[in-house]
Amino acid sequence: GMEGLSVGSVLLTGCDGGLGLGLLKGLLEQPSPPRHLFAACLDPQGKGHGHQPVPKPSCPLADVTDPNSIKAAVGKVREKVGSAGLNLLVNNTSTTRRSTLATETAENMSLVYTTNTIGPLQISQAFLPLLKEAAEAEGQREMSCSRAAIINISSILGSIEVAEAWEERQDICYRCSKAALNMLTKCLALEYGSSGILCVSVDPGHVTPPLEPGMGPVTVEESVRGVLQLLAQLSATSNGTFWDWKGQRLPW
């Protein structure tokens, strides 16, 4: 509906540009924006944003796989939210290397997996206590993104069943890392669901460089609008599932 996504506190990783920056702005523009919005950027100074007016990152997270960096971020968030906990964690940090099966390397595979799969795992582990606190604090029984949730920004390219756009881009390292991220979403859902934390994979349809005309949204704004609309609608029945920016359920 028009009420938008209403969430007390949000931590969004990968806010340095593209979709992350778009989601950050989209959240700020909701009818009732988050009381606490933590933007975890790779670039704490907020350089490299061109001339766009961007909120100062409240939570520089230089490396989503560095335990010290993550620990510091958890401390920062806890300082601000207190016993209310963290309602929504959006794992958006993502990297890719263009490749084909013929050119794929161990180095690519390992680099992309480290960021796209290990990063979200470590962030989710670290923020679990704050998410649990939020799930309990809300006192509502229904699962939702307003109560407590982990959203993993994935990709249709990680769907084994759909095997989308093979002719356009093979990108083995990216596909494998996103398929693994989807399995992580399922594991998180199985383990954290009983604590009232909703865990879902979302394909924002916005990949750089774009796949081909008509495949994903035309703009970041369109993607963001769709994703935020979807997040407002997710409930217990969506736990451990895969959706796209148009609000359609995707096969694994």
In a domain, 22, yes or no: yes
Domains identified in the chain, total number: 1
- Do residues 48 and 16 make contact, with C-beta atoms less than 8 angstroms apart? yes
For residue 25, give the CATH number of its domain: 3.40.50.720
The answer, as to whether pTM is greater than 0.85, is yes
Widest Cα–Cα separation across the chain:
53
In a domain, 3, yes or no: no
Name the residue among 190, 27, 160, 18 with its Cα closest to residue 93.
18
Name the residue among 92, 43, 86, 52 with its Cα closest to residue 245.
92
Q: Is 199 helix (H, G, I), strand (E, B) or coil?
A: strand
DSSP sequence for 241-252: -EEETTS-B---
In a domain, 4, yes or no: no
Domain span at residue 70 reads 9-249
Measured CA to CA, the distance from residue 172 to residue 166 in angstroms comes to 10
In a domain, 1, yes or no: no
In a domain, 217, yes or no: yes
In a domain, 114, yes or no: yes
- Do residues 55 and 23 make contact, with C-beta atoms less than 8 angstroms apart? no
- Report the pLDDT value the prediction gives residue 201, as an integer from 0 to 100: 98
- Report the pLDDT value the prediction gives residue 40, as an integer from 0 to 100: 85
In a domain, 2, yes or no: no
pLDDT in tens, the chain (252 residues): 457 899 999 999 988 778 999 999 999 999 999 999 998 876 555 444 444 445 555 666 667 888 898 999 999 999 999 999 999 999 998 888 899 999 999 999 999 999 999 999 999 999 999 999 999 986 667 999 999 999 999 999 999 999 888 888 899 999 999 999 999 999 999 999 999 999 999 999 976 666 666 667 778 899 999 999 999 999 999 999 999 999 999 999
